[in-house]
Structure 1
């Protein structure tokens, strides 16, 4: 893949246009769509939950009305007296039944959903809202169930029963003697659920959502399709969240809303197909899609205009430059415009004319030069190139070394050999990386030259573990650091001068430490050194002659490491006055076979 710098101007402009317009707009649009969709989703779910909540409140109000009716029946003193006393005769039983019928029917006014109200004591006596008082009537179908439930409760409900074609659920409540507090009987209210089915069935959530009513026994009190009174074992019946997403057996996603009806143990569920919720997002998706299409069309027109107004004229100028490069000095550009591009075209035409004139002059001048002069010039150039050729210098150093060996001047031979090997190392190849062992060998050669120069004043210590000898490092990494230490670390007060180079692996990093026992660095100067490490090349070169500067070696090595491996690597300096200086190089540990 081409680098951006190698691409055409138009491709760069397109890239900038895409990077600064299309990508941000797409990101903002996608973020906006998801944010708005999430807000809309929350609004839809809250709206549907409110409907379920209202249905739960509606059922709670019904329960409270029914509980109020049962309470009036259970605490009425005449009814309690009837249950506590045996009837003296049939007339007395008739009077009690008539009173109970009239009283309960009065309570049932406005409540057509109440099928019957009845009371029982535990000696078999019964009164009901239909006026039955003679013995022989069958016991209430839910009496035993309610009586059992009321052992641990004050109010309870029964299972769902089908009585004479009606779907009935019975509410039972204890009758407590107001004088003694004794449990003397049960009041039962039979509720015909059919009266609420139409209201529950007509209530819709979105397009096809529906309600489900469950009792405390996990039986259906209402379901649009399932048989009432049947027990459900679906996993959603134990839901505690306000709303939650489930999958049915066909893989369809359904959103279930849940509201508990207080005091009854009942639960109202609202069920909404998730597809209908997602369908509410379609207008938003369409709006965002249209918006993006319009923006893309606008950017396309902008790109076309840029190409026509700016790129094509520059391409024409480029083609003309190539023609001039190929020797066609008759080419000209014609831009009928007065902006910068028009001025550039005018200057280009003038430049080509001037070049043509200069070439003609040079050509005429060259014709006047003699062949001898040209040969002489060529000879001088060849001689100059030979003098500055590094290989020539290398061969010369070898000759000096041979001569010193012949004359028995051992010291000169050693230093010349070292210098010769240093030059060979620099001419070896143009590889960016070398092994750590090669870099250490180069450093030792440099140390031999320094040892000769300073007459052995400085002692060099090298520690290179065998297991990291083949680690790869940039070329000429250590010599600038050691040279910097030689130049700045010591003064006349140092009787013993030691420079120690240590290497070791630390996790995935290679650490190289260059220590000296010199005069150290003051805090203020150390701060300046750190500021120089991250300075630009121009600033480093300006500071080169400054006596306060540490030279360009440290910043050069630091910048090379950072540019090669990243900002987490580089040079660190620790120093205390009169305590010496430690320069630490941190690089990634790269084995030779990995590169």
Structure 2
């Protein structure tokens, strides 16, 4: 026989059952108590079965756990847990679950609201800006606060507003420039119209004088009348604003023939013009005033014979024209002088800008005592 204390035998079970059950009983196969853990007296209780897992002990319901001990197959462990304590724990767990659920829902709502606001606010700002633009007001520049597709939408919207604003400003600017050009065009046409006094009477008179010169064999007078008549016809004609380069040169040569009878052989005209450019169109009376300016303010003040050279040569996108003289230079010349047709250098410069744009302007290069070069470009027009 071996004498062992029960407590030492069930030491491991004792520690476990204290933490799990309210009371624990170890009984043999006949129901005799071998060991007890807890405050319930096994001898005085009546295990009234309520169902397979619940028993009633002294009007208190317990959850029963019944299991065989593997080391001692004839012994069983009966553990009782009060249903009230279980219920209290379940209620605590239930309230904890409710709190966690409510907190989770609140977090989800907050995150959803924050996320939706982050998406809808930029869209609302764009909508507000578009409504402002529809009402005729320029919206303020929008700021992209996100790094998603909305950022590119806002950037594109800002770029669209910027381009539209620049386009409208450019249209206004072009309208103002067109108004100025129209005014200058009217002034130019008025200057041309001032020279159109009784053109038919002048032509008829010149034709009569020419007839008398032919009749009396006055060839010099006839040549003078023909040159003047051709120059006058070209000057007072308003049917064409552009004429061929060949016709413009003819007009210039007629003008110099007339001046020859006044000044003699004081000026020599040299023309360097490719034949393929003869049919190019240029503004009417664009060369004759420049030749006249070179004659009166370059060659005549010089006091001796001089040369006026016309150089015309093609470029890639335009025709370059140069009027070069070996006169006294620009320091003694006036760009505002109005000659035969009342057309000054300033007037020619304005006409070039009017017809072809601001980049087609008159340029004057001169050196006192050496001469002057007047240069300008004409686009190809046929």
Q: TM-score, normalised by structure 1?
A: 0.32
TM-score (ref. length: structure 2): 0.49
